[in-house]
């Protein structure tokens, strides 16, 4: 009789236990197997937006869909090309009806590790970032709600949206899904990385000499371009102009001391992401090195870490060779 009592209680406990949404979702929608380079931590993501197979597949489909734009001509990929480490080839990207913006489209490599978005850091999450290009009149010039209504009943959106988020496609789903896909764009498989992991032959002698220059106190590149992403993700004025047409970080903070400051870009895949600087005003790495060697113009907010240096005719190609060694050996896109 005692056994009967115990069995009855256990049966009731099991029956009463409420299956959580996470558990239900896990059965149908497993977590995405994100491949990470050696030493990279798993990027954090909001609790309401777990990185799942369905969310990243949905995000990828949306990322390449021109129907997010008013004219059905511009997708995220129009300005973030896969073969350019998800950056653009022109100084200012072209949006609907030939409109152009005011800043160069940055690479999306490793945005999973950023804590603010856009070159001025105005938006705090990858999810919220998605809304801006869809609505910006010089980019997609659309309404994210209207775009969702257009795509909601179409496949694969209908089924992936339900699977990933348990709801039909809407602004919440679009922003979460595209953010999920962007979180998978990991860069860390370059010859430089292999060299750091002990593969001495991964880089040429010239590239190694360039790396030593890069890391030297004289050039001081690592003051801002350090760490696993070769960026501090902070904001700096590098003396590009005496008067900036674009106030940069100050647009957000309204502080004069932030005028002309822009977020440090990663140097990963830098050979693929020309043109350079916040406005794409420098076409080549040679031009960029020339600028930094000059120490920049004496703007009031110029970063104190900006200091001039001289490179010999042998050192300059070595430095550029090193920057070329930062290109990934594989595509950033790991979503089938």
Following DSSP, what letter does each residue of 126-192 receive, concatenated?
HHHHTHHHHH-TTTT---HHHHHHHHTTSTTHHHHHHHHHSS-S-HHHHHHHHHHHHHT-----BHH
CB of 259 to another protein, least distance (A): 10
- Return d(Cα 210, Cα 243) in angstroms, integer: 32
Among 128, 156, 305, 331, the residue binding another protein under the rule CB under 8 A is 128
Whether residue 319 contacts residue 289, with contact meaning beta carbons closer than 8 Å, is answered with yes
CB of 15 to another protein, least distance (A): 8
The nearer residue to another protein, 120 or 193, going by C-beta atoms, is: 120
- The backbone torsions φ and ψ at residue 206, rounded to the nearest 5 degrees and listed phi first, read -65, -40
Token output for 110: 């490793």
Following DSSP, what letter does each residue of 181-234 receive, concatenated?
HHHT-----BHHHHHHTT-GGGS-HHHHHHHHHHTSTTT-GGGTS-TTTT----
CB of 309 to another protein, least distance (A): 35
Among 84, 135, 152, 158, the residue binding another protein under the rule CB under 8 A is 135
Among 78, 110, 175, 187, the residue binding another protein under the rule CB under 8 A is 175
- Return d(Cα 109, Cα 331) in angstroms, integer: 10
CB of 55 to another protein, least distance (A): 15
- Return d(Cα 291, Cα 293) in angstroms, integer: 5
- Work out whether 247 is an interface residue with another protein (CB under 8 A): yes
- The backbone torsions φ and ψ at residue 55, rounded to the nearest 5 degrees and listed phi first, read -65, -40
For residue 90, give the DSSP letter: S
* Site stretch for another protein (CB under 8 A), options 126-134, 211-219, 276-284, 305-313: 126-134
Residue span 16-55 as binding mask against another protein, x where in contact by CB under 8 A, dash where not: x-x-------------------------------------
Among 47, 245, 254, 310, the residue binding another protein under the rule CB under 8 A is 254
Distance of CA 84 to the CA centre of its chain: 13
- Work out whether 252 is an interface residue with another protein (CB under 8 A): yes
Among 4, 47, 245, 310, the residue binding another protein under the rule CB under 8 A is 4
Residue among 316, 311, 304, 292 at smallest CA distance from 240: 292
* Site stretch for another protein (CB under 8 A), options 60-68, 206-214, 244-252, 278-286: 244-252
Token output for 209: 């000499």
Token output for 237: 């004025």
Residue among 100, 92, 289 at smallest CA distance from 210: 289
* Site stretch for another protein (CB under 8 A), options 33-41, 59-67, 87-95, 123-131: 123-131
Residue span 140-159 as binding mask against another protein, x where in contact by CB under 8 A, dash where not: ---xxx--------------
The nearer residue to another protein, 136 or 234, going by C-beta atoms, is: 136
* Site stretch for another protein (CB under 8 A), options 59-67, 119-127, 292-300, 313-321: 119-127
Among 89, 125, 220, 334, the residue binding another protein under the rule CB under 8 A is 125
Among 43, 82, 94, 136, the residue binding another protein under the rule CB under 8 A is 136
**How many residues contact another protein, by CB under 8 A?**
35
Instruction: Give the residues lining the site for another protein (CB under 8 A).
Output: 1-2, 4-5, 8-9, 12-13, 15-16, 18, 118, 122-125, 127-128, 130-132, 135-136, 143-145, 171-172, 174-175, 247, 250-252, 254
């Amino acid at each position: 009789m005692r056994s009967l009592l115990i069995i009855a209680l256990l049966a009731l406990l099991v029956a009463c236990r409420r299956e959580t949404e996470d558990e239900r979702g896990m059965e149908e929608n497993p977590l995405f197997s994100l491949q990470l380079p050696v030493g990279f931590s798993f990027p954090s993501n909001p609790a309401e937006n777990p990185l799942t197979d369905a969310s990243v597949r949905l995000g990828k489909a949306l990322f390449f869909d021109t129907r997010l734009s008013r004219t059905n001509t511009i997708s995220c990929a129009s300005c973030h090309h896969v073969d350019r480490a998800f950056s653009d080839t022109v100084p200012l990207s072209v949006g609907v009806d030939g409109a152009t913006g005011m800043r160069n489209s940055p690479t999306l490599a490793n945005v999973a590790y950023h804590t603010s978005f856009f070159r001025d850091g105005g938006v705090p999450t990858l999810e919220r970032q998605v809304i801006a290009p869809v609505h910006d009149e010089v980019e997609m010039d659309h309404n994210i709600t209207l775009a969702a209504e257009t795509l909601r009943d179409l496949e694969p959106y209908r089924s992936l949206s339900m699977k990933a988020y348990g709801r039909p496609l809407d602004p919440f789903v679009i922003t979460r899904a595209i953010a999920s896909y962007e979180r998978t764009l990991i860069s860390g498989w370059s010859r430089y990385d292999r060299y750091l992991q002990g593969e001495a032959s991964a880089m040429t002698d010239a590239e190694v000499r360039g790396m030593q220059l890069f890391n030297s106190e004289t050039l001081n590149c690592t003051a801002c371009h350090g760490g696993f992403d070769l960026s501090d993700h902070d904001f700096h004025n590098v003396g590009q102009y005496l008067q900036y047409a674009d106030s940069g970080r100050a647009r957000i903070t309204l502080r004069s001391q932030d005028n002309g400051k822009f977020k440090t870009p990663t140097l990963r895949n830098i050979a693929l992401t020309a043109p350079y600087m916040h406005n794409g005003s420098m076409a080549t790495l040679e031009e960029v090195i020339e600028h930094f060697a000059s120490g920049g113009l004496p703007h009031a907010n110029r970063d104190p870490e900006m200091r001039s240096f001289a490179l010999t005719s042998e050192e300059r190609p070595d430095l550029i060779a090193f920057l070329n060694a930062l290109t990934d050996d594989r595509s950033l896109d790991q979503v089938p």
